[in-house]
A = this chain, B = another copy of it.
Amino acid sequence: MLSKKTKYGLKALTYIARSEDDVPQQVNVIAKSEQIPQKFLESILLTLRKSGILGSKKGKHGGYYLRKEPSEILMTEVMRVLEGPIAMVPCVSLNYYEKCDDCIDEATCSVNKLMIQVRDNTLEVFRNTTLADLSAV
């Protein structure tokens, strides 16, 4: 299942992408529009800012804005920040590889084999989708 964090994060990014460029968008406005608990959204946008996808401006008339063009923000990046590794098992993760405790031989492991295929197909989608695609109406 997709976590609410990711779901909310994607919706918020889409909201920002659809709004006027270079005008910081405020958490409470996004939260109301997208029906997201405000405090929860705060922490999510903070994560996105720390990862470099969003920029922020503090104080009155502050808010969040995109650091790049929507067409340059790949889903691989967004999903990794929000949801974590794309692979469903660490032993097929490109960025966070880890050997399974229980697995004796990856070469003959059926789970490994199947999950590599799932990973590749999912990656294909995320590599070919940008925030611009999501925010297109």
State the A residues within 8 Å of B (CB).
Answer: 1-2, 7, 10-11, 13-14, 34-36, 75, 88-89, 101-102, 104, 108-111, 113-115, 117-118, 121-122, 124-125, 129, 133-135, 137
Contacts and interface: CB of A to CB of B under 8 A. Distances in A.
A122 B125 CA distance: 10
Given A10-B111, A114-B125, 12 more contacts: A1-B88, A2-B89, A2-B115, A7-B89, A11-B109, A36-B102, A110-B134, A113-B133, A113-B134, A117-B125, A118-B125, A121-B121
A130 to B, nearest CB: 11
Nearest to A103: B35
B1 A89 contact: yes
